[in-house]
Structure 1
């Protein structure tokens, strides 16, 4: 019984990590295409990064990308050139 619960916990953890990874890719892609603004992307990434230290580390790369996008758009965090 305990072994079965442990396997379920591991599976849930793997799925949560996969979902987080997909969300990071989606946010990066939408921000890069200009569908969402850098400010919107940053807000979403900050929420994801608050769930754990590991999530914060994973989101840090995306936050760097969003900051570069903001600089490329002349510091305008609200710009959505592809929308």
Structure 2
């Protein structure tokens, strides 16, 4: 019974990481296309990064991308050029 619970916990963790990875890619893509603003992307990424240290590490590269986008848009974090 304990082995089944451990397998279930591992599967749940694996799926959660996959969903988190997909959300990170989605946020990156939407921000890069200008569908959402850099400010909106940063807000979402900050929420994800608060869930755990591992999530914070995964979100850090996306936060760097958002920072670069903000600089490319002349510091305007609210701009959504592709929207």
* Fold in common (TM above 0.5): yes
Using the size of structure 2 for normalisation, the TM-score is 1.00
Q: Which runs of 4+ in 1 moved over 6 A?
A: none
How many residue pairs end up in the alignment?
Answer: 83
1:13 offset after TM fit, Å?
Answer: 0.1
Residues in 1 aligned to 2:48 and 2:15: alpha-carbon distance in whole angstroms: 15
Name stretches of at least 5 consecutive residues in structure 2 with no aligned partner: none
Unmatched tracts of structure 1, length 5 or more: none
In the alignment, the residues of structure 2 paired with residue 39 and residue 29 of structure 1 have an alpha-carbon distance, to the nearest angstrom, of: 14
CA distance in 1, matches of 2:58, 2:2: 31
Map 1:1-83 to 2 at 5 A.
1-83=1-83
Return the alpha-carbon distance in structure 2 between the equivalents of residues 61 and 38 of structure 1: 14
